[in-house]
Amino acid sequence: MFSRSLKQGMTTLSFGVLDGGKRAPERRLHHVSTVAAPVAGAAPEWYSASVDLPVHEGEPDGAVALRVAAPGGDPRAEAELCRRFARRALLYGLKHLGSPAAAEDLAQEALVTVLLALREGKLREADQIASFVLGTCRTLALAQRRKSARREALLAREPVQQAAEQLPREVDGQRLQGCLEKLGEREQAIVVMTFQQDHSAEAIAEALGLSTGNVRVLRHRTLARLHACIEPPGATP
CA-to-CA separations, 51 to 6, 9, 29, 65, 72, in angstroms, rounded = 10, 12, 13, 17, 10
Q: With CB under 8 A as the contact rule, which of the stretches 7-15, 28-36, 146-154, 168-176 interacts with other proteins?
A: 168-176
237 contacts other proteins (rule: CB under 8 A): yes
Q: Sign of the C-alpha dihedral, residues 45, 50, 52, 53?
A: negative
Identify residues 208-227 at the interface with other proteins (CB under 8 A). 216, 219-221, 223-224, 226-227
Residue 183's SS3 state is coil
Going by C-beta distance under 8 Å and a sequence separation of 6 or more, which residues neighbour residue 86? 107, 111, 156, 159, 160, 162, 163
Closest CA to 79 of 104, 49, 98, 57: 57
Q: Which CB sits closer to other proteins, 120 or 165?
A: 165
Going by C-beta distance under 8 Å and a sequence separation of 6 or more, which residues neighbour residue 182? 229
CA–CA dist 142, 166 (Å, integer): 26
Task: Write the interaction track for other proteins spanning residues 74-103; mark x where CB under 8 A is met and - where it is not.
Answer: ----------xx-xx--xx-xx--------
User: With contacts defined by CB under 8 A, how many residues of the chain interact with other proteins?
Assistant: 43
The residue from 24, 39, 49, 180 that contacts other proteins (CB under 8 A) is: 180
CA–CA dist 86, 156 (Å, integer): 8
CA–CA dist 101, 216 (Å, integer): 29
Min dist CB 94 to other proteins, Å, is 6
The residue from 63, 153, 191, 208 that contacts other proteins (CB under 8 A) is: 191
Min dist CB 211 to other proteins, Å, is 14
Q: Which CB sits closer to other proteins, 47 or 85?
A: 85
183 contacts other proteins (rule: CB under 8 A): no
Q: Which residues bind other proteins (CB under 8 A)?
A: 61, 84-85, 87-88, 91-92, 94-95, 130-131, 133-134, 166-174, 176-177, 180, 191, 194-196, 216, 219-221, 223-224, 226-228, 230-231, 235-237
